[in-house]
Chains A and B, each alone.
Chain A
Amino acid sequence: MTAITLDRPAPALGGFTLTYLRLELVRKIRNPRALFFTVAFPVLMFFIVGYQMLDIPLTGTPVASGGVSVAAYIMVSMAMYGAMMSATQTGASVAAERAQGWTRQLRLTPLNPVVNVAVKTLAGMAFGLVAIIATYVAAMFSGVELSATQWIVSGLAAWLLAGAVFTTLGLMVGYMVPGENVAQITSLVVVLLSFLGGLFFPLSNMPDFLQTIGRLTPVYGIGELARSPLTGEAFDLGALVNAVVWLAVFVAGTVFFFRRDTRRS
């Protein structure tokens, strides 16, 4: 047998490996409940809510004359909902694995804690993209018509905005609340925020006071931005401010609670 060597390098990239990323994806595929809520649910909701709106125009231009339908609006919203759910689970899984002691086990390896979160974020983003593509493909086959630019820009915007704002929301809650039940709490929060932020119903259909509250919630800003390619009109500046402010709040919260957490150990 060979002697044990003492002269060894530390791994590059803080321990980032494709093996870990692959296993994170495998774990998600093995979790049917999470798979349902991130990928199947948005598709199903599009068929239930969006399909019947195929002929209802979103703007002044009738669908028959090349106008965009309300179904497309529902499509972007539902796709975004899937991406948000997937992103939020990243944070919840960090919290659950900390509660199980897995994070502590990982600290016996060269893996940098930030790289650990990055790997989980990438896996969460990959499933968010799957949710968006699944919903878009279902909508396309149902008869939603958009220009190539509208498809791509709204899809990318929904994916990246939901990923940025809701991964950080999930991480913040994950580091703030220890335990294995964070997934349930955050899922409920996402559903509530989605209602308030006009993801399931347009804000304009709500009572005035709910509209005011809705405009201040984190789903409103990113939702407006992602759907803006559909109408062809410039998006509301308030939506951009909303998205930037919430992202800043969640990033700051994540850093704060992450530091508190690492100090405690």
Chain B
Amino acid sequence: MTPSIPLPAAIDVRGVTRSFGSVHAVRGVDLTVRPGEIVAFLGPNGAGKTTTIDMILGLTTPSAGTISVFGHSPRGAVARGLVSAVLQSGGLLKDITVRETVELTASLFAERRPVDEALERAGIGHLSNRRVGLCSGGEQQRLRFAMALVSDPALLILDEPTTGMDVEARRSFWGAIRADAARGRTVMFATHYLDEADEYADRIVLMSQGQIVADGSTAEIKNLVSGRIVQLTLPKADLAALASIPGVDSVEAAGDRVTIHTRDSDELARHLLTSTEAKDLEIIAQNLESVFLALTADRAPSVTTPSQGALR
């Protein structure tokens, strides 16, 4: 391919919806992923992440809209080995060995990497002669990873890849993914774990209630969420003046009570207490979780409380 021809997007999703009967799982999603990006796909359960992933892989067809993967239809991209995935739902044959499973997968593609290389990169080279039925959940997940690697996909999709793994297994799994992404592979992963998104993604896409509610680089999202909320009582507040203070992102008022989102709470508090009549001033810390919760809670009042870094 000559440089003058622009590379097609790794993933190009336009105006996609998907309904199952009266359930609207995906309600109009536009998403473009450039080759080489590592994208974290976040959102509470039922946000439509898995349905979106299924459509990108051609396992489900959209009710409306179009999807292309490296310029091909999803099934065309799968048939060419351009995209592969580690899915939660994928089953394995229990009566064959780890190596046989990867051999079988490799044989189905026109172009593939050596089986031993895939086993090694997934960290299960030492298990190659074990029957799949005797492998632990984490080992089976690594086997799915080896199966996904053996076709040398340009796009790798991971749906909750580390569910059921302990901390050590998660760390080594991500080490393998990261080493692999260094070759320029595009990676999109759905996760519940915000620290995984924070540590391994270039870009975060947040989905809630079937729509994308936030999309930006990890740095942008962190900027967005690293601020604090300042609340105060100030009769007849000049909201426009408050909004123009450096660092302030938004200002809302309910009666005399004013809520300000800011990236510099110290400076704002100093200004408010010295130059205005502000009273009852409170500074509320935010973190990644609380903002994601806020973004998704706007649309989903029943979102449950996150715990230990997991957004559920």
Contact = CB atoms under 8 A, between A and B. Distances in A.
A102 B58 CA distance: 16
B82 interface: yes
Nearest to B8: A6
Given A6-B1, A100-B91, A109 B109 contact: yes
B104 A11 contact: no
A191 interface: no
Nearest to B7: A6
Contacts of A102: 90-93
B91 A97 contact: yes
Contact of A105 (B8, B81, B92): B92
A8 B111 contact: yes
B70 A10 contact: no
Interface stretch (A26-34, A153-161, A227-235): A26-34
Given A1-B183, A102-B93, A108-B84, A9 B111 contact: yes
B194 to A, nearest CB: 27
Contact of A104 (B1, B90, B100, B151): B90
Interface string A1-15: 101111111111001
A1 B182 CA distance: 10
A246 B45 CA distance: 47
A129 B161 CA distance: 43
Nearest to A11: B110
B95 A108 contact: no
Interface stretch (B72-80, B263-271, B294-302): B72-80
Contact of B109 (A7, A31, A110): A110
B215 interface: no
Interface residues of A, number: 34
B95 A27 contact: yes
Interface size, B (range)? 35 or more
A220 to B, nearest CB: 35
Contact of B79 (A7, A11, A17, A105): A11
A8 B93 contact: no
Contacts of A30: 95
A147 B148 CA distance: 55
Given A27-B96, A110-B78, A19 B60 contact: no
B228 interface: no
Nearest to B105: A109
Nearest to A93: B93
Contact of B104 (A4, A7, A8, A19): A19
Given A104-B59, A104-B90, A265-B60, A111 B108 contact: yes
Interface in B159-212: 183-185
A23 interface: yes
20 contacts: A4-B154, A5-B154, A6-B7, A6-B70, A8-B80, A8-B81, A10-B79, A20-B104, A97-B93, A104-B87, A104-B90, A105-B91, A105-B147, A107-B59, A109-B151, A110-B79, A110-B80, A110-B81, A110-B109, A110-B110
Interface of A: 1, 3-12, 15, 17, 19-20, 23, 26-27, 30-31, 97, 100-111, 265
The 6 closest A-B pairs by CB, nearest first: A101-B91, A19-B107, A105-B90, A100-B91, A10-B79, A17-B107
